C-alpha cells in the first residue's frame, strides 16, 4: 500500500556480510516493477538484503476531447426533417 521507507524484505542474506561477499543479483522481469493499483513496487538491494519498495503512482490526466463534435450533421439530411 502506502510508501514504505525500508521496504518489504524479500531476500534475507543470513551470512555475516563482513565475512562473505553477496554477489547475488535479482531483478523483476519485464518492466522492472510490479504495479498494484496506486503503487509501483521495485526490487532494491540494501546491505546485502533485497527489498520491495513502493512509490505512489500519479495517473496521467485524461486526454482533451478532440475534436469537439459539431452539433449540426454534415452533410445536411435529405429530405429535411420536420421539427
Read off the pLDDT of residues 20-58 as tens digits, 9 standing for 90 and up: 666 777 778 888 888 888 888 989 888 888 899 988 888
Q: What is the pLDDT of residue 22?
A: 67
Residue 4 confidence class, pLDDT cut points 50, 70, 90: low
Domain borders along the chain are: 8-56
pTM, whole model, 2 decimals?
Answer: 0.54
Compute the C-alpha angle 48/54/60, nearest 5°.
Answer: 145
User: 52 is written with which cell numbers?
Assistant: 520491495
Amino acid at each position: 500500500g502506502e510508501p514504505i521507507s525500508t521496504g518489504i524484505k524479500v531476500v534475507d542474506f543470513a551470512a555475516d556480510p563482513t565475512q562473505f561477499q553477496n554477489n547475488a543479483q535479482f531483478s523483476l522481469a519485464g518492466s522492472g516493477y510490479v504495479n498494484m493499483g496506486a503503487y509501483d513496487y521495485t526490487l532494491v538491494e540494501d546491505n546485502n538484503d533485497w527489498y520491495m519498495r513502493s512509490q505512489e503512482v500519479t495517473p496521467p490526466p485524461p486526454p482533451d476531447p478532440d475534436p469537439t463534435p459539431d452539433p449540426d450533421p454534415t452533410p445536411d439530411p435529405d429530405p429535411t426533417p420536420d421539427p
